[in-house]
């Protein structure tokens, strides 16, 4: 008997066969749930491997994604196009070899010859000092820079003005301060412009307060810094003109590698290095440093995935074992069902459905636990919660697949029982 067009239009069963098949599936699902609920403890322990495997994958993938987003956020404050030229060649372990100091002339040469690919290049010299005012004292980094630093790091000036070329030429006793320094040296004062800070014997006047920058990817507080014209720091504070770092920034992400190659060429020429001789300096990019962190995160995710896969296999073996026990326990029931008309396909479907339901329950519990663990990790590490719908869907499908794969043999064994032998089973 064919149903009405209304039924067909709404996807309802339109034949007796389809209605019977739907009822049979629902009935099989109900029987599967009832069979699992008979031994709640056993079912829970059986699905534990699935729960652990699924939750571990979701939690670690989410943690890795959150960490990458946090890293990108911090890279934005540092500058994704930043190029670092450091004195001394680096070994594979990151140790300094053949230290040859850099100079301001190196920065000038890079700016002149590679300027078309760069936003700027500046020599940087840093020292740690105790800064004092009438209202506070605070240990901080004192950094000598040039005007190019503003374009290289894209730092916003909240109050006042930036350092100028004239300040560098005149060794002006002025400074720019970060927000941490402002809070520590001028507590309760939002606008410290014109105030004086003493650093050793040098007194410098505050001409600018920089915007909040937060922490760098290494965890350093970028707001705990005082910036001076580099000549002021070199000649009036530390008495040393050799520098260990030149900072540059490529105009775009696409030009980073070209800019880096040109900088290496210029530096080799300036240091009179022969063809084949190793560099006595190091040129690296912030992006390369970030890639190292990403590789570590991916490696950790892969390792967790392998461990989780082992847990899933163990969980699957547990499902197979319990289903084999269930087949043995319910042999007489199988014989009765076959005697009243159930086919081998019906028996196979029934036990396969039970295994799949058991695995899916474990998968759902694992997804819930994994998302909870991801939220806890995100709150602890202060990074965003990133739970991919694709990973959740994949986890659900994997748990179903485990149930089908490991439940097939017990279901097949049940479907091949001889009804007469099964009815005699005690």
pLDDT of residue 23 exceeding 60:
no
Reduced to 3 states (helix: H, G, I; strand: E, B; else coil), residue 385 is coil
Quick one: pLDDT band at residue 78, thresholds 50, 70, 90? Answer: low
**The tokens 């079912």 sit on which residue?**
43
Say what the pLDDT of residue 62 is.
82
Look up residue 60 and give its two tokens: 């670690």
**The tokens 């959740």 sit on which residue?**
392
Q: CA-CA distance, 87 to 89, in Å (whole number)?
A: 7
Q: CA-CA distance, 404 to 418, in Å (whole number)?
A: 23
Long-range CB pairs of 263-270, under 8 A, 24+ apart, other chains included? 263/83, 263/85, 263/110, 263/114, 266/109, 266/110, 266/113, 266/114, 267/85, 267/106, 267/110, 270/105, 270/106, 270/109
pLDDT of residue 33 exceeding 80:
no
pLDDT of residue 18 exceeding 90:
no
Q: How far, in Å, are 33, 255, 421 from residue 332 at the CA level?
A: 19, 75, 9
pLDDT of residue 13 exceeding 50:
no
325 touches 39 (CB < 8 A):
no
Say what the pLDDT of residue 35 is.
67
131-135: average pLDDT: 93
Say what the pLDDT of residue 144 is.
93
362 touches 36 (CB < 8 A):
no
pLDDT of residue 5 exceeding 50:
no
pTM of the model as a whole: 0.60
Q: CA-CA distance, 110 to 115, in Å (whole number)?
A: 7
94 touches 85 (CB < 8 A):
no
Q: CA-CA distance, 239 to 349, in Å (whole number)?
A: 85
Say what the pLDDT of residue 24 is.
62
Q: CA-CA distance, 345 to 343, in Å (whole number)?
A: 5
2-20: average pLDDT: 40
Q: Which of 79-83, 89-93, 257-261 has the lowest mean pLDDT?
A: 89-93
Instruction: Specify the higher pLDDT residue, 377 or 164.
Output: 164
325 touches 38 (CB < 8 A):
no
86, containing H or E segment: strand 82-87
| Adjacent-strand bridge partners of 176 | 208, 227
Q: From the CB of residue 24, how many other CB atoms can be counted at a distance below 10 Å? A: 13
Q: Which of 210-214, 305-309, 364-368, 403-407 has the lowest mean pLDDT?
A: 305-309
Q: CA-CA distance, 41 to 330, in Å (whole number)?
A: 18
Say what the pLDDT of residue 207 is.
96
Which residue in 204, 205, 178 sits closest to 193, CA to CA?
Answer: 205
Say what the pLDDT of residue 125 is.
92
Look up residue 146 and give its two tokens: 């040039």
Q: How far, in Å, are 142, 144, 149, 226, 344 from residue 79 at the CA level?
A: 20, 19, 11, 19, 66
Q: From the CB of residue 21, how many other CB atoms can be counted at a distance below 10 Å? A: 12
Give per-residue pLDDT as tens, 237-285: 998 888 878 999 898 888 888 999 999 999 999 888 888 888 888 888 8
214 touches 242 (CB < 8 A):
no
| Adjacent-strand bridge partners of 97 | 89
Please say whether the dihedral angle defined by the alpha carbons of residues 193, 196, 197 and 203, taken in this order, is positive or negative.
positive
Residue 312 sits at the vertex; the CA angle it makes with 306 and 316, to the nearest 5 degrees, is 145
* Domain residue spans of the chain: 28-71+292-424, 101-270
Say what the pLDDT of residue 333 is.
81
56-70: average pLDDT: 78
What are φ and ψ of residue 172, in 5° steps?
A: -65, 140
Look up residue 163 and give its two tokens: 């350092």
Query: Cβ contacts of residue 99 below 8 Å, gap of 6+?
Result: 87, 88, 280
Q: For residue 221, what is the DSSP state?
A: B
Say what the pLDDT of residue 332 is.
84
């Amino acid at each position: 008997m064919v149903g009405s067009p209304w039924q067909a239009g709404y996807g309802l069963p339109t034949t007796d066969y389809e209605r019977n098949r739907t009822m049979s599936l629902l009935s099989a699902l109900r029987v599967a749930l009832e069979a699992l609920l008979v031994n709640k403890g056993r079912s829970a322990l059986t699905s534990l491997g699935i729960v652990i495997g699924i939750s571990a994958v979701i939690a670690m993938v989410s943690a890795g994604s959150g960490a990458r987003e946090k890293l990108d956020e911090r890279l934005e404050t540092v500058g994704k196009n930043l190029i670092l030229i450091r004195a001394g060649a680096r070994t594979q372990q990151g140790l300094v070899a053949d230290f040859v100091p850099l100079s301001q002339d190196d920065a000038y040469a890079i700016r002149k010859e590679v300027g078309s690919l760069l936003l700027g290049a500046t020599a940087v010299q840093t020292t740690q000092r105790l800064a004092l005012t009438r209202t506070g004292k605070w240990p901080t980094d004192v950094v000598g820079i040039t005007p190019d630093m503003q374009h290289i790091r894209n730092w916003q000036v909240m109050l006042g003005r930036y350092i100028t070329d004239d300040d560098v030429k005149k060794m002006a006793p002025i400074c720019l301060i970060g927000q941490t320094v402002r809070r520590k040296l001028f507590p309760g004062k939002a606008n410290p412009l014109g105030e004086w800070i003493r650093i050793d014997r040098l007194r410098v006047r505050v001409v600018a307060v920089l915007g909040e920058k937060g922490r760098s990817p290494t965890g350093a507080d970028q707001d705990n810094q005082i910036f001076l014209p580099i000549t002021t720091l070199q000649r009036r504070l530390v008495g040393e003109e050799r520098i260990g770092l030149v900072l540059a920034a490529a105009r775009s992400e696409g030009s980073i590698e070209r800019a880096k190659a040109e900088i290496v060429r210029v530096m080799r020429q300036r240091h009179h290095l022969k063809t084949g001789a190793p560099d006595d300096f190091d040129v690296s990019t912030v992006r390369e440093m970030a890639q190292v962190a990403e590789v570590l995160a991916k490696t950790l995710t892969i390792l967790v995935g392998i461990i989780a896969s082992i847990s899933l296999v163990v969980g699957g073996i547990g499902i197979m074992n319990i289903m084999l026990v269930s087949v043995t326990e319910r042999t007489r029931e199988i014989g009765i069902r076959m005697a009243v008309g159930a086919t081998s396909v019906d028996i196979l479907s029934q036990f396969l459905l039970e295994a799949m339901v058991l695995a899916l329950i474990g998968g759902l519990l694992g997804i819930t636990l994994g998302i909870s663990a991801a939220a806890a990790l995100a709150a602890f590490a202060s990074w965003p919660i990133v739970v991919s719908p694709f990973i959740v869907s994949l986890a659900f499908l994997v748990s179903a697949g485990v149930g089908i794969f490991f439940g097939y043999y017990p279901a097949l064994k049940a479907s091949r029982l001889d009804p007469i032998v099964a009815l005699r089973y005690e």
